[in-house]
């Protein structure tokens, strides 16, 4: 039996669930044993109680109690090899690669594909990454995330050193991300900054889509337990009358569901966002409701259009872009919006 350990979360381990982080460190631990340690308060994060779903941050210290030898009834044996990726999935994910060198790899993540697995979810990017080795000793590592229904540029590290460097870029806000979205109505003013803080609202969203976030006034963040500041820049690129707008979104912070919650808070939810925009409501122009009706898809219209980062080995800036997914491309065509006419960075034009 080992003694108590105090382990620090590394930059490339940030934003992982506590239970998954622990299983990577101690592969013989099963979910049952982890849950028991959490219930008894033996497993702690920065001295406080935690849940299996707690998202870790770089620099946090996890207290791990003495671990006995593996228990066959509660501890799963370590798999010698990861679950094989089907030939069809391997072709699909390899075709989504938009950049690759010996240090980093980027894909155009399809909408509907989770980045990491959840309850009963075995098909996700973390598992499919086995098909993205391309001769490397290990699969590429995630250094940031996109929501399941968000498409677009997602960056991965091919080495531990690259993962640390890229993670610092994200946490130090040196990595520039620009999203495109279609929103209900047209924001006024047509450009600005949203600074509402975010706190977990509790419960689960429609269809079991995970926990929902609640916006709170910036002045209330410091006094609200669990609340975190969140900042989003937005700019309208083009509008379809008063019914909808094509907006660029640049997250200054990187909170869960930040863009979706912020746009809904100012009365212009992202099209297709049943969680924050009201799945049964329609928008006839400048009103609330995330469904535009007619030929417009009910899927989420949020796309990670571009990402600019400093290469971890070469120190040069690289900007990667991803084309609109099919359902968003149809909406753009319907409204006469032309992606090729949009500035690479609409916020630079604003000054």
Point out the residues that are catalytic: 147
Q: Please report, in angstroms and rounded to a whole number, the separation of the first and last CA atoms in the chain.
A: 61
Under 8 Å between Cβ of 140 and 105:
yes
Cβ contacts of 279-288, under 8 Å, gap ≥ 24: 279/206, 283/184, 283/185, 283/243, 283/244, 284/243, 285/185, 285/241, 285/242, 285/243, 286/185, 286/186, 286/242, 286/243, 287/184, 287/185, 288/184
- Tell me if 289 sits within 8 A of 277, measured CB to CB: yes
89 by Cβ neighbours in 10 Å (0-12 / 13-18 / 19+) ranks as middle
Residues 96, 273, 14, 28: is their CA dihedral positive or negative? negative
Q: Which residues contact 238 (CB under 8 A, 6 or more apart)?
A: 245, 246, 335, 337
- 138 touches 130 (CB < 8 A): no
Of 242, 206, 198, nearest to 224 (Cα)?
A: 198
DSSP at 211: P
C-alpha distance from residue 105 to each of 16, 141, 210 (Å): 20, 9, 28
Cα–Cα distance, 270 to 301 (Å, whole number): 6
- How many beta carbons lie within 10 A of that of residue 152, not counting itself? 28
> What's the token pair of residue 315?
């120190």
> Which residues are 108's β-sheet partners?
153
If 0-12 CB within 10 Å is exposed, 13-18 middle and 19+ buried, where does residue 253 land?
Answer: middle
Q: What token pair was written down for 50? A: 């935690």
């Amino acid at each position: 039996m080992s003694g108590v350990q105090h382990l620090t979360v590394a930059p490339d381990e940030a934003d992982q669930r506590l239970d998954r982080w622990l299983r990577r460190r101690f592969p013989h631990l099963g979910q049952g044993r982890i849950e028991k340690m959490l219930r008894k308060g033996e497993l702690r994060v920065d001295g406080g109680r935690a849940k299996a779903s707690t998202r870790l941050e770089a620099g946090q210290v996890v207290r791990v109690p003495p671990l006995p030898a593996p228990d066959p009834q509660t501890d799963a044996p370590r798999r010698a090899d990861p679950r094989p990726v089907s030939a069809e999935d391997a072709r699909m994910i390899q075709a989504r690669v938009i950049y690759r060198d010996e240090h980093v790899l980027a894909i155009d993540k399809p909408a509907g594909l989770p980045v990491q697995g959840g309850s009963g979810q075995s098909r996700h990017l973390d598992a499919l990454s086995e098909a993205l080795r391309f001769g490397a000793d290990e699969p590429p590592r995630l250094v940031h995330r996109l929501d399941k229904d968000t498409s677009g540029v997602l960056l991965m590290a091919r080495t531990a050193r690259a993962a640390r460097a890229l993670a610092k870029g994200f946490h130090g806000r040196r990595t520039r991300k620009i999203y495109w979205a279609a929103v209900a109505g047209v924001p006024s003013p047509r450009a600005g900054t949203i600074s509402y803080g975010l706190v977990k609202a509790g419960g689960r969203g429609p269809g079991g889509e995970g926990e929902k976030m609640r916006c709170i006034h910036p002045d209330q963040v410091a006094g609200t337990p669990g609340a975190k500041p969140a900042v989003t820049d937005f700019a309208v690129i083009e509008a379809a009358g008063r019914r909808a707008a094509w907006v660029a979104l640049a997250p200054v912070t990187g909170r869960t569901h930040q863009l979706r919650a912020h746009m809904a808070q100012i009365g212009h939810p992202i099209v297709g966002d049943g969680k924050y925009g009201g799945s049964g409501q329609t928008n006839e122009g400048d009103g609330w409701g995330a469904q535009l009706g007619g030929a417009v898809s009910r899927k989420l219209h949020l796309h990670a259009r571009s990402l600019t980062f400093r290469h971890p080995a070469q120190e040069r800036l690289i900007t990667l872009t991803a084309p609109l997914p099919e359902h968003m491309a149809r909406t753009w065509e319907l409204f006469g919006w032309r992606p090729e006419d949009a500035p690479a960075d609409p916020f630079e034009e604003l000054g």
